[in-house]
Amino acid sequence: MINGHTQLFGVLGTHVQHSLSPIMHNAGYQVRGINAVYVPLRASAVQDAFAGLKALGFTGVSVTVPHKETIMPMLDVIDPVAKKIGAVNTLVFSRKEERTVCCLGTNTDWIGANQALAEVATLAGSKVLVLGAGGAARAIGFGLQEAQAEVYLANRSEDKGRKLAAELGCNFVSLQDLPALRADILVNATAVGMTPEANKTPIDASFLRHFSVVMDIVYAPLKTRLLQEAEAQGCVTVSGVNMLLYQAMEQWRLWFGEEAPKAAMREALAQSFEQKP
Ligand code: ATR
């Protein structure tokens, strides 16, 4: 029941009306009997929105496109890993005597990717090819390096790919050299294959047999063309929805200091996919 003691959480961004985070987190509050609510916070004026969150006493907020980088200068403390990635996706507010006294920014995207992959593979010592050079590739590439994987990066725009590989301190592979690359894991960190362009795929199907595990960050559709083709080649596949779940579970841990109710959050996600046409 929502009352005067209800704790406030939400997801801040410009396209949050489609976010699955409210579904996951609210299902968790319900199963644990926590008096909290998690709402979409749609705003383009990030500074005003941030002041509002502090003034209204929010406890925790997820940050998404396009505010993950621009919100950083407003925060009191930024976790060193988020600083290195250059983006935050999680805010943790501390309050004292009805006032917000501190806001910590951190990043759980890379943890989400690592944990989703760790369900089916050992990351330390594995060779991983990451496709893409945007914010997602950056967080995932960083996380894989943290997990002691040997990371290779490929990208459509070579300059951008080379630049990110140099920043991460990982290997770069050009599109011409891609057919010769053999690795344990392939991660698509681009939006290629996402609805409404679900007929697209970021890599030729004939290369997929060069990998044992294939993960897609795209989760709409649930089974992307990349994952379908990878399955047909005998690869173990990991859906982007697992990364989504694990990054949310890590947020829960930061906000409540306890393990997240994984089964309830996973079930809520599954139901939301079933309800889609
Ligand atoms: P995000 O921050 O969400 O990762 P982004 O910064 O827009 O998003 O990055 C998108 C990534 O997907 C980029 O690596 C982009 O490649 P370019 O650097 O060449 O633009 C990649 N990408 C997007 N559309 C693509 C397509 N049709 N084919 C191949 N790569 C694509």
Best probe residue, ligand 1, of 131, 156, 199 (max atoms within 8 Å of C-beta): 156
Kindly report the protein residue whose alpha carbon is nearest to atom 22 of ligand 1: 190
Whether the pLDDT of residue 274 is over 90: the answer is no
Q: State residue 277's pLDDT score.
A: 54
Render pLDDT for 123-153 as a digit per residue (tens, 0 to 9). 999 999 999 999 999 999 999 999 999 999 9
Render pLDDT for 73-112 as a digit per residue (tens, 0 to 9). 999 999 999 999 999 999 999 999 889 899 999 999 999 9
pTM: 0.95
Cβ–ligand 1 contact at 155 (below 6 Å): yes
Judge whether 84 counts as a catalytic residue. no
Residue/partner pairs of 71-76 with CB below 8 Å, 24 or more apart: 71/12, 71/46, 71/105, 72/105, 74/46, 74/47, 74/50, 74/103, 75/103, 75/104, 75/105, 76/102, 76/103, 76/104
Rounded Cα distance, 144 and 124, in Å: 8
Output the CA 93–ligand 1 centroid distance in Å: 32
Whether the pLDDT of residue 276 is over 90: the answer is no
Q: State residue 190's pLDDT score.
A: 97
The active-site residue, picked from 54, 68, 127, 200, is 68
The helix/strand/coil state of 122 is coil
Q: How is residue 189 annotated by DSSP?
A: -
Q: In the predicted model, what is the mean pLDDT of the chain?
A: 96
Residue 116 half-sphere exposure toward CB, CA atoms < 13 A: 32
Q: State residue 109's pLDDT score.
A: 97
Q: State residue 154's pLDDT score.
A: 98
Question: Which atom of ligand 1 is the closest one to the Cα of 135?
Answer: 2
